Structure 1
Amino acid sequence: MTTNPTVMLVVAGLLRDEKGRFLLQKRPPGKRHAGLWEFPGGKVETSEMPRLALVRELAEELGIAVGLPDVGPIAFAEHDADADGPAIVILLYNIERWTGDPLSLEGGEIGWFSQGEAMDLPKPKLDRDLLEALIRPCSQASPA
């Protein structure tokens, strides 16, 4: 019997403005993936449900309030464990509504980007995978 490797569960939010642009944040200096753009979110803590973790993370990182009914699953991406760390699974949730204006509260930049602009930004692989899943029509999805 083999044991499963440790998996880090991460949540991220897809926020769109009235023009349909995506909100992305830049990782601050000194953190892993510093200088790369990603969907806002963070790690799910032990015994925490993913949607609640995302509500907490968006409040901590962006200063916005999100209600649970406004959080819906939209995509996921995963990365196997390697020498740099554990396996990672990112769950991306669509955020229908929020209260407050998103602000960068943890030191990195934030910005609103069109789909094309977002694709051109330097991003960690899993955020690239999530963005590609959002823009790829279902008919182009490759079979498992």
Structure 2
Amino acid sequence: MDTRKIIPVVAGALMQADGHFMLGSRPAGKPYPGYWEFPGGKVEAGESPYQALVRELQEEMGITVTRATPWLRRVHHYEHASVELLFYRVWAWDGEPQPHEGQSFAWQEPGQLSVQPMLPANAPILRALQLPDVLHISCVHELGRDAVLEALAQRDDEPWVIVREPQLDREQLAALVGEISQIVHARGGKLIVNADPAWLKGWPVDGVQLNGTRLAALQERPAHFTWVGASCHSRAELERAAELELDYALLGHVLATASHPAQAPLGWDGLAALTAPAAPLPVFAIGGLSAANLDEARRCGAHGVAQMRAAWQPEPAST
């Protein structure tokens, strides 16, 4: 066991509207010179993590952060130090980044890095940036197969869809997944299925979604899936998903929903409490939410939102 003191560190991912993010190179004279990382630094005595973020980015690149949200928490053990990294996504700032410490900066596209080498602690953070803002959960059991397929066919983005239809047997689910995959993959999206991982061998899927029972029973991350997520309702379940090195978690329910009328919702404060000071893996807030709740979810520490009924409603007509 590593018994070294853990040093609190903050880091900021400057975000552009199209999803591009900024990396900076480590200057000479520091450990890992020339490696690329998210700008930031140590939290000083008496500072909150947010205050440290504002100060570090002002000192390091001459910008003033005006809007940032907590995102991810990672502990990493380097040869020279053990650090707890609190990552923020920075959405707005005043000024243009300038290399105040002799470093270089580069805007990057998720999944398409053009700079190397990368600081070791950042691998899961870079992967998290490939996740979408919104996950769409199927609702065939309520709306019917035709309505869901039609709504999906009308989309012009690259949707990430989770098929969750517990009323279907394996054969019925396979047929539905085949139909949805043709639409999703033709648009460059991703398809994840909430089912027994053993069912999905040979299916046209990109990942598996684990319910609470399957998450609790696992000893290791399911093999052969590019993306693995879990449905969580507590801090313990979040930490378990992180221990298994899963890619994300659905966390809720945040607001009252028709499917859970007897269960008290977390509310926004409850969501923030479960993720504070930052989540151990990317969290999608779920439960009575839609894409319109994205900003609020981010303020409470979520990566994004997962929507079910709202995903398949027709867009309101413009006036």
TM-score range, shorter chain: 0.7 to 0.9
Unpaired runs of at least 5, structure 1 = none
CA drift at 1:43: 0.8
Q: For residues 136 and 85 of structure 1, do their structure 2 counterparts lie closer, same or farther at Cα, with a shift above 3 Å needed?
A: same
CA drift at 1:130: 1.6
Which amino acid in the other structure matches residue 75 of structure 1? Answer: L
Q: For residues 122 and 38 of structure 1, do their structure 2 counterparts lie closer, same or farther at Cα, with a shift above 3 Å needed?
A: same
Percentage of matched positions with identical amino acids: 37
**1:1-144 superposed matches below 5 A:** 5-67=4-66, 70-80=67-77, 84-118=79-113, 121-136=116-131, 139=209, 140-141=228-229, 143=241, 144=243
Q: For residues 16-42 of structure 1, what are the alpha-carbon distances to aligned partners after superposition, in whole Å with 9 as ceiling and x for unaligned?
A: 224421111011122111111100111
Secondary structure of the residue aligned to 1:60 is helix
Which amino acid in the other structure matches residue 20 of structure 1? Answer: G
Which amino acid in the other structure matches residue 35 of structure 1? Answer: G
Secondary structure of the residue aligned to 1:42 is strand
Number of residue equivalences: 137
CA drift at 1:8: 0.7
Q: Which residue of 1 aligns with 2:220?
A: none
Q: Is the radius of gyration larger for structure 1 or structure 2?
A: 2
Q: For residues 12 and 64 of structure 1, do their structure 2 counterparts lie closer, same or farther at Cα, with a shift above 3 Å needed?
A: same
Aligned-residue CA RMSD (Å): 2.2
Q: How many angstroms apart in 2 are the aligned matches of 1:121 and 1:115?
A: 14
CA drift at 1:15: 0.7
Is 1:22–1:118's contact at 8 Å kept on the other side of the alignment?
no
Is 1:12–1:39's contact at 8 Å kept on the other side of the alignment?
yes
Which amino acid in the other structure matches residue 42 of structure 1? Answer: G
Q: How many angstroms apart in 1 are the aligned matches of 2:93 and 2:12?
A: 11
Which amino acid in the other structure matches residue 121 of structure 2? Answer: L
Q: How many angstroms apart in 2 are the aligned matches of 1:119 and 1:10?
A: 25
Q: How many angstroms apart in 2 are the aligned matches of 1:14 and 1:56?
A: 15
Is 1:7–1:86's contact at 8 Å kept on the other side of the alignment?
yes
TM-score by length of 1: 0.83
Is 2:61–2:98's contact at 8 Å kept on the other side of the alignment?
yes
Q: For residues 2-23 of structure 1, what are the alpha-carbon distances to aligned partners after superposition, in whole Å with 9 as ceiling and x for unaligned?
A: xx64111110111122442111
Q: Which residue of 1 aligns with 2:159?
A: none
Q: Which residue of 1 aligns with 2:317?
A: none
Is 1:12–1:41's contact at 8 Å kept on the other side of the alignment?
yes
Unpaired runs of at least 5, structure 2 = 136-208, 210-227, 231-240, 244-319
Q: Higher helix fraction: Structure 1 or Structure 2? A: 2
Secondary structure of the residue aligned to 2:65 is coil
CA drift at 1:136: 4.8
Q: How many angstroms apart in 2 are the aligned matches of 1:119 and 1:130?
A: 16
Tell me: higher relative CO, structure 1 or 2? Use CA pairs within 8 A at least 6 residues apart.
Answer: 1
Greater alpha carbon shift after TM alignment, 130-139 vs 52-61: 130-139
Q: How many angstroms apart in 2 are the aligned matches of 1:14 and 1:49?
A: 18
TM-score by length of 2: 0.40
Q: For residues 5 and 72 of structure 1, do their structure 2 counterparts lie closer, same or farther at Cα, with a shift above 3 Å needed?
A: same
Is 1:61–1:104's contact at 8 Å kept on the other side of the alignment?
yes
Secondary structure of the residue aligned to 1:115 is coil
Which amino acid in the other structure matches residue 71 of structure 1? Answer: A
